[in-house]
């Protein structure tokens, strides 16, 4: 049954690709648009990969901090030693990930 569904989806995609009127080498679509005039300078700005890596690492650790909030809420409901072990293990994993990023050089801002 899954093979039949796969074949129907594949045939549909191939037919849509053949029938579509899109052109990939259209000059108007590939050029930057500035109110109908030719651009004065390059429309592409240089992008810092190091900044992107720092932003992704920040986002990951920010999400992990939001995972720590339920630990505060379940404190009265759990045994103190189990709470301590679970929280310590979670923080150990976070610190291990931070050490790995630091050891790989992802946290150093090189120009």
pLDDT reported for residue 92: 93
pLDDT reported for residue 96: 92
pTM: 0.48
pLDDT reported for residue 13: 92
How far is residue 66 from each of residues 56, 61, 71, 88, 101, measured CA to CA in Å? Answer: 16, 9, 10, 16, 20
In the chain (111 residues long), the average pLDDT of successive 10-residue segments reads 94 88 63 62 71 83 83 86 90 89 78 54
Side-chain-facing half-sphere of 22: CA atoms under 13 Å: 7
């Amino acid at each position: 049954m899954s093979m039949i569904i796969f074949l129907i989806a594949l045939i549909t995609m191939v037919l849509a690709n053949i029938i579509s009127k899109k052109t990939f080498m259209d000059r108007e679509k590939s050029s930057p648009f500035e109110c109908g005039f030719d651009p004065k300078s390059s429309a592409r700005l240089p992008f810092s990969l190091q900044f992107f890596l720092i932003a992704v690492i920040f986002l990951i650790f920010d999400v992990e901090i939001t995972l720590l909030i339920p630990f505060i809420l379940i404190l009265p409901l759990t045994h103190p030693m189990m709470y301590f072990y679970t929280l310590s293990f979670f923080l150990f994993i976070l610190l291990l990930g931070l050490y790995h990023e630091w050891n790989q050089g992802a946290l150093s801002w090189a120009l």
